[in-house]
Structure 1
Amino acid sequence: MDKVWSFSTDEDGKIAALSKDLELSEIIAALLINRGINNLEDAKMFFNPVEDQFHDPFLLADMDKAVEIILSHVERNTHILIYGDYDVDGTTAASILYLALLELGARVTYYIPRRDEGYGLSSKGIDSARQVGIGLVITCDCGITSHEEIDLAKSFGMGVIVTDHHEVTDTLPNADAVVNPKRPNSSYPFKFLSGAGVALKVIQALRKHAMSDNWYATEYYDLAAFGTAADIVPMTGENRVIVSLGLPVIFKRRRIGLKALLDSSGFSKDKITLMDVVFNLAPRINAVGRIGEAREAVELFTTNDPERAKQLANKFDQMNKERRAIDQKTYIEAEQQLLARYDPDQPCGAVLYADGWHQGVIGIVASRLTEKYYRPTVMISLDGDIGKGSGRSIPGFNLHAVLKECSDLLIGFGGHEQAGGLTIKRSNLQDFVDKFDDVVTSKLTADLMTKKIKVEAILNFSDINRKLLKIIERLEPYGPENARPVFVSKGALPAGEATIVGENHLKLKFEQKNRTIDAIGFNMAEQLTNVLNPPVGGMDIAYELEENSWNGNKYIQIILKDLK
């Protein structure tokens, strides 16, 4: 699929003005303007995320109620249940609340549902809570759509506090307190916290209420950062603060469980990045939630026993290998179904379904298919009369809104604009497929179906140096709304021998005006013919910059994104 390059412009002169005011190059000024940074004060805050940038937790609606209820139940020695989701965000959020309430002297336990129980609170989980005498349920990373289950808990005499960050449906659940930055008419300054981020805010509120000197709850930065990074939320505002402050804590391996996780992964770099969490560490935790018992992830995050932590981390490593094998088998089957039922060249969504697909991997596979075929994709695993599905979307297309339009055919649904989950009766499946296809087709435009590369600046190779690289590194942590910058250089000629390395990666050098730079294009082997036969005037290349090392030597390398 051809990609469209979208270039930043300076029609209003903001880049030139900021360059002059801050005495920066226009390249650096462009990077700042593209991130909404228009003055020196904003630049200082962006480049130096600190605790003072945290918002008052009591600005979150119902936070005062939540604090009062928690403290009341702790004082009465009520049995409290932390009810988390089974992914990384949910298990880190549960761990934060569990550890902090233990510190308060609470009688507290946690419940993480198996994936086959479905997303959110389950009647099984609530009934289990009743049987052991739970008096207060605190959800984390779930609960905002669990109306019936919360009503059930209330009917058993339990108090319920919902802490969540997912999209709110038409009405709030009948909980005693609902803490969610996405609540309608919320005045909270930042809407995009993760579940772990919301959990951290609850602990900050408890500390602030107690007038603690450490109301920021610094000892939980590592878990909050881990969950926030893994949940792919916008890397702006408080999320940027949480991850910036938390990643160095993860790297120091102070928490026994995270140390074991890093050790089992073979991590040996001189610093840890958000991408290390997303692509190396988080999948190990998600694997246990997908094909095992996710409560063991909370055990890993909260244990004080190094041997038990090592045992769990090694177990998760093995599970992750098993998960990959299941992924690949499911991907092949789903791709065959997609190509048999849909035209890849037509603007439409895709609903794929089968009996026996592992519920724990359909989200990952849906994500891969969405990326490859660039269309909203839902995958449903059928078991008896019920199907459970997971969907992913493309940038700019609201999957949650589509599921809402189809909600009359669903038992339940939830999620975000870019990802969602659902439960459906088998008897409604074909009607759902037809309606989903109709709704998506009516909303999907040719522009949305076109992959875009946002280019931040045009560089000559002579502009590329370690000073530029150091400033680019200070833009980290990268993530949604703060992507690693992409540059374009024009008239670059392939130099030396271009080769295929690994399975399908393109490795070569480019030369422009007597400057040669190493380059690699991941999964770009199909471009080999083009670079072996370049135009006379050279090629235009879109790329990211990074510092690579080999045999102890560090050098600047281009990461190709596209070439023309």
Structure 2
Amino acid sequence: VPPQEPPPALVIIDPKTPGETYPFAHLSATAVVAKLVWALRFAATPLYNQRLCLLNAYRDETGLVVEACRIVNLVETKRFRWVYDEKSTSNDLTLLVSFLQDQEIYVFDERAQLKLLRQLFGAGVEIGLFDLAPGIVKVFPALAGLSFAEIRAKSRLPRYNAEAGDLDILLSLFVSSVYKTFPNLGAEFLPVLDLVALASLADLMPLENENRILVRLGMQTLNKTRRPGLRALLMRLRLLGRPLSTTDVSWQLTPVLNAAGRMGEPGTAAGLLLSTDEAERKALAERLETLNQQRKQASLAAWDVVLPPARSFYEASGGLLALVRDPAIPRGITGILASRLMNTLGAPALVMTHQGERIVGSLRTNRGFQTRQFLDAFADLFTDYGGHAQAAGFHLPLDRAGEFQARLEAVLPNFSLDAAAEAVLEIDAEVPLEYLKAELIQVVDLLEPYGEGNRPLIFVARGLLVLDLDLMGKSGAAHARLTLDAGAAKWPAIWWNALEFLERHEFGVGDRVDVAFNLGRNFYQGQESLQLTVLDLVKS
């Protein structure tokens, strides 16, 4: 794709901007665009920019309780709780009046709520309420004839949030009814979430907060995708027709899509997604797979070149940073190399190469490194820079490389790292052998999506019998394939990089072992089976 001058910006939307009030900063750019489109659709509804107030009054042992929250564009902006008892004064009531003033007040069951409010304000005060009940019942007929107390008893919200109260349930009902009343909000939003999921996983965005919701829904869309380009690529990768997990997408799909940009052909991936010609899509999918193979080969060839100088800088910096600058490094693999250096040396890593008259840098960080603060220290030198807490990049004019190096030596000692954590597995659950059955995968599926910020579940089982043990691997037998007998079932297992352990420990067929593992699916020749991935193992 040839360089183009972007049009003048009318609005810049970036939740990472310092001082930005959006409650979650770690959205991918695709997610930001998808939410912007949703917001524009919402702006066409009569609720746009309306100041609404949800109110719920009830009696408990403390007295007459009034809870209310203001919402604008389905977002809660302020909340108020007031309890009326024998100690309450007219000044206290003034606070409630001030909160409700100039608001459209919505309640569930206007008659019952009005009766309670008149006990506060008296019969002579005019109180205007809008009853949500008819609209909610219209879109949720199963709630017809139920009181709010009965609806609260049926609500699942308190199961997932122990602090959720009546007002939270009312707010959830209201928002849900809005989506039902204006179905285009969801109908035009859900179909693009497959792209949001791909972008979030490819960009290693943390699967926290709303990212978990967006990616979970996006994976559902992706598994039913009708996008011809994606279907062509999935078919080429032999993934079409099987249920995809976030692990499948992260390891098998997004690297192939990313390979186009890394190898200097971003138009290949874009063309695949936009193509209306079946033959062209097939050719582009094949080309992407070829580019990914070239990317792998380039990464392997560069690794032996970058590791020694990066290690030297790491040691000279006191373990604060691994850095290498080499104009021979292909631009598209700097981020991959930086990630591998970080994981190998256990510290932030910066890989730089040359692209014409500029230096391109990829930074990968861990151990609490202040990525943004680090980049800001060179802001006047960079032509542009950006990223998130764990991954960032920049462009630096080649003629300012000396200034960058001198400043780096000056500012780097001001940064510190969290202590390197000992390699300890955090076990989520111990599974008795009688429960180590195929049904356990349902628990794993329930807590999808897994990825950055939400690792896969780790189980431990004790006393498994080793039935088979074979070494495997293309470049040396570094990995192991096992069969483990749990009594209730026999389990195939894979153990990556097992050779080092096996060389140091006496261990083999017939031993009983305690195993820490992930549970997942394996696909081979079109057949699905469950498989354990061994993370650690000791003799029982």
Contact kept, 8 Å, 1:248 with 1:271, in 2: the verdict is: no
* Number of residues of Structure 1 aligned to a counterpart in Structure 2: 397
The residue aligned with 2:242 is 270
Q: Summarize deviations over 1:326-351 as a string: whole Å, max 9, x none.
A: 11111221113224554499633111
Q: Is the 8 A contact 2:459 2:518 kept in 1?
A: yes
SS of the residue 1:315 aligns to: helix
**Partner of residue 519 from structure 1, selected from 490, 493, 498:** 493
Q: Once superposed, what is the RMSD of the aligned Cα atoms? A: 3.3
**Which amino acid is the alignment partner of residue 247 of structure 2?**
M
The answer on 1:191 being equivalent to 2:25 is yes
Q: Does 1:250 align with 2:222?
A: yes
Structure-to-structure mapping, 1:321-400, within 5 angstroms: 321-343=293-315, 347-383=319-355, 386-400=358-372
SS of the residue corresponding to residue 184 of structure 2 reads coil
CA contact (8 A) 1:287 1:320 kept: yes
C-alpha separation in 2, matches of 1:274 and 1:203: 25
Between the aligned partners of 2:486 and 2:29, the Cα distance in structure 1 is 47
Which residue number in structure 1 is paired with residue 42 of structure 2? 208
Unmatched 5+ residue regions in structure 1? 1-111, 114-123, 130-136, 138-157, 161-175
Letter in 1 for 2:184: N
Instruction: Flag the 1:249–1:344 CA change in 2: closer, same or farther, 3 A.
Output: farther
| Residue 533 of structure 2: aligned partner | 559
Which one-letter code corresponds to 1:201 in the other structure? Answer: K
Q: How does 1:163-562 map to 2 (within 5 A)?
A: 176-211=10-45, 213-216=183-186, 217=188, 218-268=190-240, 270-343=242-315, 347-383=319-355, 386-407=358-379, 409-426=381-398, 428-429=400-401, 432-433=404-405, 436=408, 443-445=415-417, 447-448=419-420, 450-489=422-461, 494=466, 496-503=468-475, 504-510=478-484, 517-533=491-507, 541-548=515-522, 556-562=530-536
Q: TM-score, normalised by structure 2?
A: 0.65
Structure 1 residue 313: Cα displacement:
1.6
Change (3 A) 1:316 1:498: closer
Amino acid aligned to 2:453: E
Contact 2:460 2:515 in 1 (8 A): yes
Shift of 1:445: 4.2
Structure 2: distance between partners of 1:247 and 1:341: 41
Indicate if the aligned counterparts of 1:349 and 1:441 stay in contact, CA closer than 8 A: no
Give me the whole-angstrom Cα distance separating, in 2, the residues matched to 1:478 and 1:249: 16
| Alpha-carbon contact 1:546-1:559 (below 8 Å) kept | yes
Contact 2:371 2:389 in 1 (8 A): yes
| Alpha carbons of structure 1 residues 458 and 187: separation in structure 2 relative to 1, 3 Å | same
Residue pairs, 1:27-38, within 5 angstroms: none
Q: Deviations over 1:496-553 (max 9, x none)?
A: 445344442122345679986443211232111245348x997654321224467898
Which residue identity does 1:471 align to in structure 2? Answer: V
Residue 192 (structure 1) shift: 2.3
* Gap regions ≥5 residues in structure 2: 46-181
Of 125, 150, 158 in structure 1, the residue corresponding to residue 4 of structure 2 is 125
Change (3 A) 1:553 1:247: closer
Return the alpha-carbon distance in structure 1 between the equivalents of residues 422 and 415 of structure 2. Answer: 14
> CA-to-partner distance for each residue in 1:114-159, whole Å, 9 max, x for gaps?
xxxxxxxxxx632xx6xxxxxxx3xxxxxxxxxxxxxxxxxxxx4x
Does structure 1 conserve the Cα–Cα contact (< 8 Å) formed by 2:472 and 2:479?
yes
- State the distance in 2 between where 1:521 and 1:345 align: 35
- By how many angstroms is 1:206 displaced? 2.1
Identity of aligned residues (%): 27
Cα gap change, 1:343 to 1:426, in 2 (>3 Å)? same
Change (3 A) 1:224 1:497: closer
1:346–1:512 Cα change, 3 Å: farther
Residue equivalent to 1:66: none
Contact 2:223 2:243 in 1 (8 A): yes
State how far apart, in whole Å, the 1-side matches of 2:249 and 2:444 are: 20
Q: In the alignment, is the contact (CA less than 8 A) between 1:347 and 1:441 conserved in 2? A: no
Q: Secondary structure at the match of 1:360?
A: helix
- Deviation sequence 1:239-264 (CA, Å, 0-9, x none): 22322222233333411111111122
